[in-house]
Chain A
Amino acid sequence: DGGITQSPKYLFRKEGQNVTLSCEQNLNHDAMYWYRQDPGQGLRLIYYSQIVNDFQKGDIAEGYSVSREKKESFPLTVTSAQKNPTAFYLCASSIVQGWEQYFGPGTRLTVT
């Protein structure tokens, strides 16, 4: 089955630690995205990538980093510089930028 996988579903970290969230897709999509979702708010874009080895900052990139070494993979690192990292993180992909986006199941990150 084609789709987007995110792992793990729940992630717990201590404050001050970096943590990497996984996102893999087998849809052969060129574009991939990372969003953050907080209660009572719409999704906010962290980073996006249109092609391999290229990515751009979204609206709330501070404290996050990404890489796009393979078409299928777009991992997100939440660094210790992110002031309020506890949130639900969603990864998405689209055929190319501008087409409808399809989402993974999300990762709930809790930092204490």
Chain B
Amino acid sequence: AQTVTQSQPEMSVQEAETVTLSCTYDTSESNYYLFWYKQPPSRQMILVIRQEAYKQQNATENRFSVNFQKAAKSFSLKISDSQLGDTAMYFCAFMDSNYQLIWGAGTKLIIKP
């Protein structure tokens, strides 16, 4: 069975620092998609970034970037110049060949002023 593991239940950093959230996954498939979603205290799930497995280039969205290591099955999220509004739960998700999303348990990120 395919699984997604987020090994950091909670992290906290000072505002303006850079933070990296880790995610590993297990699959035998070669073509798939990976996502990071953010869930702030409002509980609205928001798409942060998407990565296609066939692309070697790491995806970037403004202050958010990923380090995708396909051989290692690793998909970490880097947040640069962190802001108070980045405080949220962050979920890593893997989309399998049946187009189903498999979710990690989440990492709670706290940005301190």
Binding site for B on A (CB under 8 A): 40-45, 48, 58, 88, 90, 92, 97-98, 100-106
Chain B: how many interface residues by the 8 Å CB criterion?
Answer: 22
Q: Assuming A100-B50, A103-B46, is B105 touching A42 (CB within 8 A)?
A: yes
**Is B75's beta carbon under 8 Å from chain A?**
no
Contact B99 A97 (CB under 8 A): yes
Tell me the B34-88 residues at the A interface (CB within 8 Å). 35, 37, 42-47, 50
Q: Determine which of B43, B102, B105 lies in contact with A41 in the assembled complex, contact meaning CB atoms within 8 Å.
A: B105
Question: A101 near B105 (CB under 8 angstroms)?
Answer: no
Query: What chain A residues lie within 8 Å of B43 (beta carbons)?
Result: 88, 105-106
Cα of A90 to Cα of B104 in the assembled complex, Å: 16
Complex contact B44–A103 (CB within 8 A) = yes
A95 to chain B, nearest CB (A): 12
A13 vs B47: C-alpha distance in the bound complex, in angstroms?
A: 31
The residue of chain A having its C-beta at the shortest distance from the C-beta of B43 within the complex is A106
Contacts of A104 in B (CB 8 A): 44
